[in-house]
Amino acid sequence: MSDHLPPSHKPVKAPKIGVLLLNLGTPDGTDYWNVRRYLKEFLSDPRVIETPKWLWWPLLNLVILSVRPQKSGHAYAQIWDKEKNESPLRVITRNQTENLAQRLSGDGNVIVDFAMRYGNPSTKSVLEKLQAAGCQKILLVPLYPQYSATTTATANDKAFEALGQMRWQPAVRTAPAYFDDPKYVETLGNSIRDGVAKLDFEPDLVITSYHGMPVEYLQRGDPYHCQCYKTTRLVREYLGWDKSKLMVTFQSRFGPTKWLEPYTDVTLGELPGKGIKKVAILAPAFSADCIETLEEIAMGGKDTFMEAGGEQFAYIPCLNDSPGGMDMIEAMVRRELSGWLD
């Protein structure tokens, strides 16, 4: 590549293709300051909190960030990977990245990496690393099956912000949401069927718990709510189950405003009183297990259900870096790289 260049010219890297997996983010530790730093970046994102800044800034900085880091830090500590000293989200996302890189290694000129919208590794730092490695084409892959402005859009926003500061800017594609992708539906359906088959009880109900959002966001045109229901409907049809067997709920609400219903925690507290005392639950909005699945649902959700009179409770893990999950990610990435790969 550099044979014809003048002696003083910087070396030119051979052209490569980058694949960048994008996920939400995680604090670097469970202590107050690491969690506070993470929450401040997350809750300062206008895509996530649409409250006017003049009203939200003092509430966030003077109230929420004074008390919430301790609570969140305690929750993170319950699920922290102490061997690697990282959150499960970062560990799993790295595993997905390394697995995908191995699967694409035969294509020769592809580099796979991952970045977080909030926290480390930052989107900007990884994009700069890919560009410096010679990636003249980069595929951005937000790991959110269902589209929302609070997830997919802000992940892409952060990438575009970094690209906007580059002199030699690579060509970029963004992978779309895959909530109704047949391969995703099949993989998710198989994970539910296999997960239920491994249990020592037969669930009265299987719950698909999605991350919630304020109802106002839906009213402003966010398609997330509809895509969640479509995912569950398609999976139910794939499994051949009755409508009464698979339910949609929404978790992780924050603040006093009305969020998407039915609420997961409220539902789990009410089901035993309705005679539904054996449940299995999963979180299809997450591509990797994290604090919202492992602490909020697998631990907190179980406590709520059992204290209300439930008898059996099981959490079915996210697709993570399972063989089926990786087959799905690989198929999606190869499809979106069409025309770039030889």
- Which pairing describes strands 278-282 and 312-315: parallel, antiparallel, or unpaired? parallel
Strand partners, 114: 21
Q: CB-based contacts of 139: which residues, under 8 Å, 6+ apart? A: 17, 18, 19, 20, 172, 173, 174, 175, 333, 336, 337, 340
What is the spatial distance between Cα 223 and Cα 217, in angstroms, rounded to a whole number? 9
User: Is the preceding peptide bond at 52 cis, omega within 30 degrees of 0?
Assistant: no
Answer whether 303's CB lies under 8 Å from 103's CB: no
The answer to whether 292 is a known ligand-binding residue is yes
Q: CB-based contacts of 73: which residues, under 8 Å, 6+ apart? A: 27, 30, 31, 32, 34, 35
What is the spatial distance between Cα 184 and Cα 190, in angstroms, rounded to a whole number? 10
Number of neighbours of residue 152 by Cβ within 10 angstroms: 23
Radius of gyration, CA atoms only, the chain: 21
Q: CB-based contacts of 265: which residues, under 8 Å, 6+ apart? A: 251, 300, 301, 304
The answer to whether 225 is a known ligand-binding residue is no
What is the spatial distance between Cα 155 and Cα 157, in angstroms, rounded to a whole number? 5
> Residues within the annotated binding site for Fe(2+)?
211, 292
Residue list, annotated binding site: 211, 292
